[in-house]
């Protein structure tokens, strides 16, 4: 009986590899006859595993999707990957994901071998995850959008823009983008005839979805790079372009992708595109990266760097009695920036 149970588990593990197996291949892997394979497949079906079988040349067995989730067999690396993913899921910005992850992790922890539990606990004790502090997204909203993306169906939704205005949008959805602890929908806005990014936490899908559409070419082959540049500059009030005196590789080591995009110029210089809603933040960031630089735009950043330099000079040279040196002349007020935000 023990040998039969072990063989069934081995057969289930092979079928969960998501490929078609001929009866002869399974018999060879399990070192049994094809007749025994057929009997074992029938036993798994009785246990609730939907296994499809096709006859003839090229036929075989394949594990199909069922109405309920059956037990899964994971190898050591897969089990560790799932456990680590569950422990860090709280930073994903999805409503209720932390509680759901804890429940799933508790079930997994009960069946983990001691050697794997030790590895996971060792990693967890050294891991610090920063919880999401912004708005979260309902999982059903993500599922609705993902289904529309997969099926090429138009999507209608109510939307609240950054200025609080409400509208109903009709779009061709193309991608869900996760970045900066926020979820975005990247879509073709049929009303604006242009590509747009929408924050998922600000939209309310209208169901059912609309008619199917023929996918149009995406605006870039490298969507990750396209999103990175767009999300680190266009969504901010101030967008700066700087020439950095350092190689692109060296500068990229100091600039997180969530803050700026580095473009190589030659071996010794590169261009940094960076955005922020605060000139103070921009000035401090570019000064802290540790490279000489020139500001190409915006001009108000240059004026703000002068203001910040004078402020730091006064703090650095203030005497012990608290007397500050004479203040530098204040620069002219910076002009109000134009807000050109492709993220609605």
- Residue-wise pLDDT for 275-287, tens only, equals 888 888 888 888 8
Domain ranges of the chain: 2-63, 76-126, 139-219, 229-317
SS3 267: coil
Question: What CATH class is the domain 229-317?
Answer: alpha beta
- For the ranges 85-89, 96-100, 170-174, 322-326, which has the lowest average pLDDT? 322-326
**CATH code, 139-219:** 2.30.30
Structure tokens at 240: 């700066």
Tell me: pLDDT of 299 over 80.
yes
- Mean pLDDT of all residues in 304-330: 73
Give the pLDDT confidence score for residue 335 in this predicted structure: 47
Instruction: Indicate yes or no: pTM above 0.75.
Output: no
Asked if CATH classification 1.10.10.10 holds for the domain at 2-63, the reply, yes or no, is yes
* Residues recorded for the chain: 344
pLDDT at 320: 60
Q: Which two tokens stand for residue 168?
A: 């109903």
Mean pLDDT of the chain: 82
Q: How many CB atoms lie within 10 A of CB 236?
A: 20
Task: Find the radius of gyration of the CA atoms of the chain.
Answer: 28
The band of 148, judged by pLDDT with boundaries at 50, 70 and 90, is very high
Residue 225 has pLDDT above 50, yes or no: yes
Q: Does the structure show a pLDDT above 90 at 17?
A: no
């Amino acid at each position: 009986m023990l040998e039969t149970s072990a063989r069934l588990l081995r057969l289930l593990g092979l079928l969960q590899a998501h490929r078609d197996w001929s009866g002869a291949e399974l018999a060879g892997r399990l070192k049994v006859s094809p007749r025994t394979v057929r009997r074992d497949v029938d036993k798994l079906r009785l246990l609730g595993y939907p296994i499809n079988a096709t006859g003839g040349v090229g036929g075989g067995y394949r594990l199909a999707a069922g109405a309920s989730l059956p037990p899964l067999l994971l190898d050591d690396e897969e089990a560790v990957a799932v456990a680590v993913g569950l422990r860090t899921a709280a930073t994903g910005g999805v409503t209720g994901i932390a509680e759901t992850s804890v429940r799933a992790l508790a079930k997994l922890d009960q069946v983990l071998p001691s050697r794997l539990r030790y590895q996971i606990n060792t990693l967890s004790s050294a891991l610090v995850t920063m919880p999401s502090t912004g708005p979260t997204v309902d999982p059903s909203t993500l599922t609705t959008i993902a289904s529309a993306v997969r099926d090429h169906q138009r999507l209608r939704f109510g939307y609240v823009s950054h200025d609080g205005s409400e509208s109903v949008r009709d779009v061709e959805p193309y991608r869900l983008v996760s970045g900066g602890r926020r979820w975005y929908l990247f879509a073709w806005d049929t009303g604006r005839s242009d590509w747009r990014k929408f924050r998922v936490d600000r939209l309310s899908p209208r169901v059912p979805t609309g008619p199917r559409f023929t996918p149009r070419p995406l605006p870039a082959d490298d969507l990750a790079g396209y999103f990175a540049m767009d999300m680190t500059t266009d969504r901010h009030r101030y967008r700066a372009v700087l020439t950095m005196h350092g190689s692109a590789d060296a500068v990229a080591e100091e600039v997180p992708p969530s803050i700026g995009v580095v473009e190589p110029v030659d071996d010794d210089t590169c261009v940094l595109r960076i955005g922020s809603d605060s000139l103070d933040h921009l000035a401090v960031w570019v000064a802290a990266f540790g490279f000489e630089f020139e500001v190409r735009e915006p001009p108000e950043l240059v004026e703000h760097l002068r203001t910040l330099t004078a402020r730091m000079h006064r703090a650095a040279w203030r005497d012990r009695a608290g007397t500050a040196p004479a203040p530098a002349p204040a620069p002219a007020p910076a002009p109000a920036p134009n807000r050109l935000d492709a993220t609605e």
